[in-house]
Structure 1
Amino acid sequence: MHYLPEADSAALITEELAFTAVREALIAAAGTEAEIFPAVLGHGSDPRNRFTVKSAASARHAGVKIGSYWPGNADHGLARHNSVVLLFDQERGRIATVVEAGVANAYRTAAADAVAADVLARPDTTTLTVFGTGHQALYECTALARVRPISSVQVVARTPEHGERFLARLAEHNLPGRLVDAENACRTADVIVTATTATAPLFDAAWVRPGTHVATMGSDAHGKQELPPGLLATARLFCDLPSQSVRIGELQHVAGPIADGTLTATAIGDVLTGRATGRRSEDDITVFDSSGIALQDLFVAEALLAAATTTGGQT
């Protein structure tokens, strides 16, 4: 069995590696040679401690990603989020590889939004608004700044203290930021990213100006909600996997079309391959719902293993 511990995967992961692997995974997800199975949502003995099991198979590999969220870890100086990827030996049905991927998972999640923004956000995008200052938010900002010339980050925080700490972290990455209220942050944004645990809309649909790209990637589960339903009714909708987005992602709040099966949401992989159209005009409002698919984890794990072999890391 190959084993890549957290310290090694965290040292090997880069934005470029994550972007390339995730882009390939999203293309595979929209094709015919891969299958993604329904996510299983569970919790620990304490219901506040949650985990998700996501699995998939492609022409190259099959496996499982287990992602966990233990909010009490912060009291012990540990990360709330963790992740481990298991790859099968497909000839024998045994686990062939274990990749601990807590930090890598944050890169992978942000990479999905960056891949989508690269084909959906306007090329002249400079102003990014981010809702949330937690674990994932910084990764989102740096990944998006890699694909668009972001010169200003507007931060909507729950408290001034959280906001100020986040601004300091942005500054360490040479990203100028400022605290802004939700309405003004939306009205002046080229891209809006929601990285929260919200179960109710974070802003009003009327605040989003034409041409804005919106990426939503909060804590996917039944009842999660970050965007106003009015925005979903008027924007052009994209996602990583339509069948999953309508079940545990943001698209579960497109009320009528989900009920009668007429929801039109485009898999971003189809845009990447040219089978579907992305942004059609400068005034399009586009929404990308990233619910996270196991193929992303399998492709990232494979890329990390290749990097470990190249650098002589532990496998």
Structure 2
Amino acid sequence: MRVLDEARTAHLIDDELALAAAREAFLATGRGAVFPVVIGHGSDRVNRFTLKSGAAATAAGVKIGSYWPGNDAHGIPRHNSTVILLDQRTGRVAAVVEASLANAYRTAAADALAVQTLARPDSRVLTVIGTGHQALHDVRAVAKVRPVDTVLVVGRRPEAAAALAATIRARTGLDARAESVEAACRAADVITTATTAKTPLFDADWIRPGTHISAMGADGAGKQELPPALYDRADLFCDLVEQARVIGEFQHAPATATITTLGDVLRASAPGRGSGEQITVFDSSGFALQDLALATALLDRDDNDPAGEPR
């Protein structure tokens, strides 16, 4: 059994590996299988975890994603992610891959893949709603697939938005500033939402034609970031339709809404963006094939990087 601990996968991960793994996973949605998400909690119910499992030609296994809010007191992240790969010949554990940092790259890669596939090629203004740990990763990944030169940061707390904008400027060199939610939405070419919201973050009327929105936050019943009125004006895309309808953003979409998987667009079996005026929405609730592809890619890179030199 192979084990990659958190320190090792944090050394191995980068945006290019994560994006390639995301593309492989979304293409595999037509061939692989995923199974219902299991949601659990610790003995203290404030501590939560999910199990997402799946199988494809190259891997089978489960991702355990945990959220322990009290970890702040211990100086470690609230979120943790571990992927367990099974030997498909025997059912024994083949590998355990700790991937907390890598999971942030994986989530950002899904966002970037959607932007690369659906956003206007000339998109330059990126609005980020949410100032948590995921936001910086999303900015960095999206800026690698579109010519982003301006980042507008929206947060519930102005000081948190200003701090994130300063970090974005320092880490990426992009022009970033805190902005009001209305102004940021009206100016955006691309909007990324990464929050734990249970009510809409903005008004549908603030979204101009041609905007792409990647909604990354909804991964459980009751979560909601987008206004339902937006669905009358937008074309809808997601990772898995059945899952998006239950735990993703599209649990709030009309039953009659047409929802297309991003995998179908990548396989050219469904249309993506058709015009510069089209509003596109991508709902990412996350699925196991992403985690299996990422873990496999990390193991492959580990095989080819025995010296472990920092990247």
Where does residue 188 of structure 2 map in the other structure? 189
**2:66 aligns to what SS in structure 1?**
strand
TM-score after normalising by structure 2: 0.97
Contact 1:55/1:64, CA 8 A, preserved across alignment: yes
Instruction: Give the CA deviation at 1:312.
Output: 1.1
- Tell me which amino acid in the other structure corresponds to 1:278: G
Matched, 1:308 2:302: yes
Instruction: Give the CA deviation at 1:59.
Output: 1.1
Unmatched 5+ stretches in structure 1: none
Where does residue 16 of structure 1 map in the other structure? 16
Q: 1:223 to 1:313 in 2, by over 3 A?
A: farther
Matched, 1:168 2:162: no
Where does residue 140 of structure 2 map in the other structure? 142
Where does residue 228 of structure 1 map in the other structure? 227
Where does residue 76 of structure 2 map in the other structure? 78
- What fraction of aligned residue pairs are identical, expressed as a percent? 58
TM-superposition CA deviations, 1:83-141 (whole Å, max 9, x none): 00000011111111000000000000000011111010000000000001101011010
CA RMSD of aligned residues (A): 1.1
Aligned residues: 307
Instruction: Give the CA deviation at 1:61.
Output: 1.1
**1:147 aligns to what SS in structure 2?**
coil
Instruction: Give the CA deviation at 1:311.
Output: 0.7
Instruction: Give the CA deviation at 1:67.
Output: 0.5
- Tell me which amino acid in the other structure corresponds to 2:287: I
Contact 2:218/2:225, CA 8 A, preserved across alignment: no
- Tell me which amino acid in the other structure corresponds to 2:44: D
Aligned counterpart in structure 2 of residue 298 of structure 1, from 282, 292, 301: 292
**1:124 aligns to what SS in structure 2?**
coil
Matched, 1:59 2:57: yes
Instruction: Give the CA deviation at 1:294.
Output: 0.5
Where does residue 122 of structure 1 map in the other structure? 120
Instruction: Give the CA deviation at 1:71.
Output: 1.3
Partners in 1 of 2:149 and 2:64 — Cα distance? 36
Aligned counterpart in structure 1 of residue 91 of structure 2, from 84, 90, 93: 93
Instruction: Give the CA deviation at 1:48.
Output: 1.8
Instruction: Give the CA deviation at 1:219.
Output: 4.3
- Tell me which amino acid in the other structure corresponds to 2:151: V
Where does residue 154 of structure 2 map in the other structure? 156
TM-superposition CA deviations, 1:236-287 (whole Å, max 9, x none): 00001101000000000014x1xxxx44210001101111110011110000
- Tell me which amino acid in the other structure corresponds to 1:22: A
**1:200 aligns to what SS in structure 2?**
coil
Contact 2:218/2:247, CA 8 A, preserved across alignment: no
- Tell me which amino acid in the other structure corresponds to 1:9: T
TM-superposition CA deviations, 1:177-205 (whole Å, max 9, x none): 11111111100100011010100000000
Aligned counterpart in structure 1 of residue 280 of structure 2, from 286, 290, 300: 286
Unmatched 5+ stretches in structure 2: none
Contact 1:239/1:288, CA 8 A, preserved across alignment: yes
Partners in 1 of 2:75 and 2:218 — Cα distance? 21
- Tell me which amino acid in the other structure corresponds to 2:242: S
Where does residue 36 of structure 2 map in the other structure? 38
| Runs of 4+ deviating beyond 6 Å | none
Instruction: Give the CA deviation at 1:42.
Output: 1.4
- Tell me which amino acid in the other structure corresponds to 1:213: H
Partners in 2 of 1:42 and 1:222 — Cα distance? 13
Contact 1:8/1:313, CA 8 A, preserved across alignment: no
Aligned counterpart in structure 1 of residue 110 of structure 2, from 94, 109, 112: 112
Contact 1:118/1:148, CA 8 A, preserved across alignment: yes
TM-superposition CA deviations, 1:38-64 (whole Å, max 9, x none): 111112222221111000000111000
Instruction: Give the CA deviation at 1:313.
Output: 6.2
